[in-house]
Structure 1
Amino acid sequence: MLKTVNYQEFLDEHSNMALTNNRIPAEQYPYFNVKRGLRNSDGTGVLVGLTEIGDVTGYIVEEHEKIPVEGALRYRGISIDKLVAGFQASGRPGFEEASYLLLFGDLPTRKKLDQFNEILESSRKLPAGFVENMILEAPSRNIMNKLARSILALYSYDDDAEGRAITNVLRQCIELIARFPIMIAYAYQAKMHNYNKKSLYIHNPDPGLSTAENFLRLIRPNKEFTKLEAEILDLALVLHAEHGGGNNSTFTTHVVMSSDTDVYSAIAAAVGSLKGSKHGGANNKVVAMMENFKENIKDWNDLDEVERYLEKVINKEAYDKTGLVYGLGHAVYTKSDPRAIILYDKLNELAKEKGVMDEVQLYRNVEKLGPEVFKRVKNNDKIISANVDFYSGFIYKILGINPDLYTPIFAMARVAGWAAHILEEIVSGGRIMRPAYKAVCKRREYVPMEQRQQ
């Protein structure tokens, strides 16, 4: 009989083995022409699929040369700028309209949009007992993990969970778009009650409100919000709803769905991807970094002082000493991120209403000086600009939204894009995704137990 094992000692000893036996020399990757991160040597993405849903442009390639251009984002071929201008001019929320466009490929008529809104409203209600048994009884410290668990739990309440007919998949996708805000809000309330010892508020969604309005209603104890608050959250949802097929979480959706699994499994996997700090968790990092800047820069309007502190950050002498200025730079966008530009314009309205224009100026100074300092300190000509994460977290902070909700809000928006890509994968995919990994381990003989060296 084995003696009692010290678990921690076992882990400490074997972690060294895990590190040693999983380390592949960096030089082997270029030797075998491996596209690490599915990136080409010039930083462009490896082409693995086609899509008609989202188009992200940040550069053009001419004669094998990558040329930076102003960023552009299109949903089903329609410029995000014109889409936003269209619904804002009419004073109506845009997330539902954008979701319809992504799912069905065309802009809705007034009648079709009203029908879609009615279906979303009727789909928001969670199954009987779901809130109590699946959310309140098992709260989580991380809302994204709770969201993934809740998505998988919905499978058990679906009489046709495995059905892959388009009508059935559409139903599942629409229900998930409708229910994400509710599950996120209730998971947040459960987390705050159980781990932060706050009062528990479980409000019912209001059938007459938009997705953004309902979410603000559900997360606030008094259920109150202003028109401008709802407008800017709605805008953030529209801007985050889709970003092409190559971003990590959407690609995850394609990979998982290509195996002919169910919709709930694919969406839950996408949530797990989005949770990562290199993907959907980036806006939290921006807010934390800017709080550090506020503490260490005395005069936020002094460009020289801002520049000096940026130098320290990029030289790994300040903040988290990674050398990164979070919110600057993007995998595709170079000269500009159209989402950041659109969001900033609305941010000014909110900042004036909330009296935080001085803080906005600090953000603007960092946005302006960051690329210049990076170029000088790193002696690097790479063109970078502020991405949408640079301002989205700040907007949520001004709205009084807890940082625990920043990435879940991203998921609440992006589920519309994931759903559209699921439909595209079912209709046009047809093959399970199966890229290759080259084995570089040396071949060796099996050693009998009694001959193994300890």
Structure 2
Amino acid sequence: MLKLNLETTVALNEEFKKDIKLLFEQYQKYNRFDQSYYDRFNVKRGLRNADGTGVLAGLSQICNVHGYMINEGEKMPIDGELIYRGINIHDIINGCATDNRYSFEETAWLLLMGFLPNQKQLDHFSAMLSRYRDLPDNFTEDMIMKAPSTNIMNVLSRCVLALYTYDNNPEDTSIENVMRQSIQLIARMPSIMVAAYQVKKRVFDGRSMYLHNPRPDFSTAQNILRLLRSDKQFTEEEAHLLDLCLVLHVEHGGGNNSTFTTRVLTSSGTDTYSAISAGIGSLKGPRHGGASHKVSEMMTAIKEGVSNWDDDNEVKDFLVKIINKQAGDHSGLIYGMGHAVYTKSDPRATILKANAIKLATGTEYEKEFKLLHSVERLAPDLLREKWGNDRSVCANVDLYSGLVYRMLGIPEELHTPLFATARTAGWCAHRMEEISSGGKIIRPAYKPIAQEQEYIPLSERH
């Protein structure tokens, strides 16, 4: 088959663009409807009630995200709480910090099993994760190096699906088998993530890549830093901070978009790899896990558009431009501010902020931290003015997570993949719970509003 020359290729591309534009115009003509129908038929858009609370779709023992109270029908803002299996996130973090231990492995066990492990159980579970960190033979070469991508989330999703073919029993949805698959996925996600980044760096950035082997005696956080860095070196302070980030991201209740996606697919009876891959695809979205990337983009725009970062009035004026879709990505959103559940505070943001200020003080990042804090201080009043109400607005985890990752030397391409690496444990816990207690395929309703029309023979159509 002869290769097309450059001129022919360009001409075909232009012709294709014209065809797509025509199809788009036709689509717009026939696929619009009055948005007031949502109110008319009492449609709960986004599966949310009129007061902003989520539509109750199931029961779960895994996590409680508590951000407000209902008092005589009114939503009352409170400081946010994040509770894993009945244990407050602060207690988990403080308990491990007291013993100078890493928290992620213990938290993953807690989510999967429902109770805290004793020392013997924790050691055995950590050893199981270590045993499965290595990818199957030739997996890196065949699934990552031969099909590199600029987007690591897409590689994660594809590689999780590919692991199906390396599994001798992929379709068995018994809890015992899904638990085995879950432990393997939790162990392998960091290895896939870093390998995908190293290959991306080599192929698309023209830089050297380093494919190190994980160390069996290292924690998940330690191994991520070891695999990522060319010299394999890191400090214990860095590893403990990354471990903290993993614990904060590992779970957030059954109603968040990616976890609900995982439970929806699980309810259909599909395999583990399909369900977790779908969760990754959901998390990639800028309205979900991809929001940290949007925060970074927004902060770049603010830094370029504000000459004096210490001038509240100048920062405020630029935020107004963002809200009015005159700056940033023109979405009107201040990324990193607001949450579907949290009102007064997001505990994850509070914890990350406290660590960020400790790490930033006295470094080149201190000025950027202060700018983030200015956004957190100034944005709520500006948003309330725009909305015309007194709704409580707080910073969410994405506002400070990007800065913490940058201070750890973690490239921006890995911010959302790190989120996915941590959240895999939460997704797997919810998948096991859905199999154990769900029992029905999840199928909400959509109101049909299409007008009746007659079928017209092809020869009579204009």
Counterpart mapping for 1:194-213 below 5 A: 194-213=203-222
2:45 to 10, 13, 36: 36
Tell whether 2:257 aligns with 1:217: no
One-letter amino acid of the counterpart of residue 132, structure 2: S
Q: Are the aligned partners of 1:100 and 1:116 in contact in 2 as well (CA < 8 Å)?
A: yes
Q: Secondary structure at the match of 1:156?
A: helix
Match of 2:322 in 1: 313
Distance 2:44 2:388 in 1: 25
Distance 2:92 2:239 in 1: 18
Percentage identity across aligned positions?
A: 51
Q: By how many angstroms is 1:227 displaced?
A: 1.4
Q: By how many angstroms is 1:263 displaced?
A: 0.3
- Runs of 5+ consecutive residues of structure 2 not aligned to the other structure: 1-11
Q: Are the aligned partners of 1:229 and 1:350 in contact in 2 as well (CA < 8 Å)?
A: no
* Greater than 4 Å deviation, 4+ residue runs: none
Q: Secondary structure at the match of 2:112?
A: helix
Distance 1:212 1:22 in 2: 48
1:297 to 306, 312, 317: 306
Distance 2:33 2:192 in 1: 41
One-letter amino acid of the counterpart of residue 427, structure 1: S
Counterpart mapping for 1:285-364 below 5 A: 285-352=294-361, 354-364=363-373
Distance 2:317 2:18 in 1: 45
Q: Secondary structure at the match of 1:278?
A: coil
1:404 to 403, 413, 418: 413
Distance 1:24 1:268 in 2: 33
Q: Secondary structure at the match of 2:361?
A: helix
1:235 to 238, 244, 248: 244
Tell whether 2:404 aligns with 1:395: yes
Distance 2:259 2:161 in 1: 18
Distance 2:16 2:375 in 1: 47
Match of 1:432 in 2: 441
Distance 1:376 1:38 in 2: 26
Tell whether 2:139 aligns with 1:130: yes
Tell whether 2:68 aligns with 1:91: no
Distance 2:299 2:209 in 1: 31
Distance 1:377 1:161 in 2: 51
2:176 to 142, 146, 167: 167
Tell whether 2:279 aligns with 1:270: yes
Counterpart mapping for 1:53-202 below 5 A: 53-202=62-211
One-letter amino acid of the counterpart of residue 82, structure 2: L
Q: By how many angstroms is 1:182 displaced?
A: 0.3
Distance 1:137 1:108 in 2: 40
Q: Secondary structure at the match of 1:350?
A: helix
> Deviations for 1:264-290, whole angstroms, at most 9, x for unmatched residues?
000000000000000010011112211
Distance 2:447 2:328 in 1: 39
Distance 1:74 1:185 in 2: 29
Q: By how many angstroms is 1:199 displaced?
A: 1.0
> Deviations for 1:294-342, whole angstroms, at most 9, x for unmatched residues?
2233333333332333233323333333332110100110000001111
Distance 2:22 2:215 in 1: 56
Q: By how many angstroms is 1:355 displaced?
A: 4.2
Q: Are the aligned partners of 2:129 and 2:183 in contact in 1 as well (CA < 8 Å)?
A: yes
Match of 2:459 in 1: 450
Distance 1:320 1:13 in 2: 26
Tell whether 2:384 aligns with 1:371: no
Distance 1:441 1:311 in 2: 39
> Deviations for 1:382-406, whole angstroms, at most 9, x for unmatched residues?
1101000000011112222211111
Q: Are the aligned partners of 2:297 and 2:328 in contact in 1 as well (CA < 8 Å)?
A: no
Distance 1:20 1:80 in 2: 50
- Runs of 5+ consecutive residues of structure 1 not aligned to the other structure: none
Q: Are the aligned partners of 1:228 and 1:350 in contact in 2 as well (CA < 8 Å)?
A: no
Distance 1:377 1:74 in 2: 33
How well do the aligned residues superpose, as a CA RMSD in angstroms? 1.6
Q: Are the aligned partners of 1:177 and 1:415 in contact in 2 as well (CA < 8 Å)?
A: yes
Distance 2:250 2:360 in 1: 24
One-letter amino acid of the counterpart of residue 366, structure 1: V
Q: Are the aligned partners of 1:53 and 1:244 in contact in 2 as well (CA < 8 Å)?
A: yes
Tell whether 2:58 aligns with 1:49: yes
1:11 to 12, 20, 28: 20
Q: By how many angstroms is 1:424 displaced?
A: 0.2
One-letter amino acid of the counterpart of residue 369, structure 1: L
Distance 1:371 1:95 in 2: 33
Q: Are the aligned partners of 1:139 and 1:194 in contact in 2 as well (CA < 8 Å)?
A: yes
One-letter amino acid of the counterpart of residue 266, structure 2: M
Q: By how many angstroms is 1:219 displaced?
A: 1.4
Q: By how many angstroms is 1:292 displaced?
A: 2.2
Q: Are the aligned partners of 1:252 and 1:270 in contact in 2 as well (CA < 8 Å)?
A: yes
Task: Tell which deviates more after alignment, 229-238 or 376-385.
Answer: 376-385
Q: By how many angstroms is 1:30 displaced?
A: 1.1
One-letter amino acid of the counterpart of residue 32, structure 1: F
Q: By how many angstroms is 1:377 displaced?
A: 4.7
Q: Provide TM-score, normalisation by structure 1.
A: 0.96
Distance 1:374 1:336 in 2: 16
Q: By how many angstroms is 1:26 displaced?
A: 0.3
Q: Secondary structure at the match of 1:327?
A: coil
Distance 2:115 2:194 in 1: 30
Q: Secondary structure at the match of 1:82?
A: helix
Task: Tell which deviates more after alignment, 253-262 or 216-225.
Answer: 216-225
Q: Secondary structure at the match of 1:316?
A: coil
One-letter amino acid of the counterpart of residue 13, structure 1: L
Q: Are the aligned partners of 1:354 and 1:398 in contact in 2 as well (CA < 8 Å)?
A: no
